[in-house]
Structure 1
């Protein structure tokens, strides 16, 4: 008989991990899990709870992120659903657009003089 494993853990290990991770959540999220019937019994329920706990922990981390970090994370998540060709096409179009904008800015605001700032008194 082969033992069923999920991410290298057996049933009891996942249950233990779920219990520990659930206790680390704030009270609001713990109540939300209970209301939405996430249980730590039965293979499918244990795995669902495991995945939901990972998601909730990621959300907790995100609360402290800067705007730049949030944009980078959203880009990473969005890229999971794109093929390499779609990502490359988007990056190519974006680079082309940025270059066009840069050229327009250079035309409208030519900076032909060199500015020297002397900080000595």
Structure 2
């Protein structure tokens, strides 16, 4: 992941509606959620939510998948993993002991 990719992903998550939607999609993996389900969960109008969704898709964090007449949205878990690794590697600067508590906490929560 490049710095520009990371910045785009982080910027897309830097809004309460988009962060909430992405968290829902991560929890819904691997099935995803329909756009309608996401709109309902957000409490926003379809058009307002669509602009938020478009930002997440443009950042590569959400993958739209047409299934019949429904549009299913899925979190791109590989992209999330790449973002997390980018941040951890950059923050630790090659010093694994700095990231050890983070790795332990991640292992315990999942």
Name the TM tier (shorter chain): 0.3 to 0.5
Larger Rg: 1
Determine which structure has the larger strand proportion and give its number. Answer: 2
When normalised by structure 1's length, the TM-score is 0.32
Bigger relative contact order, structure 1 or 2 (CA pairs below 8 A, ≥6 apart): 2
Calculate the TM-score normalised by the size of structure 2: 0.34
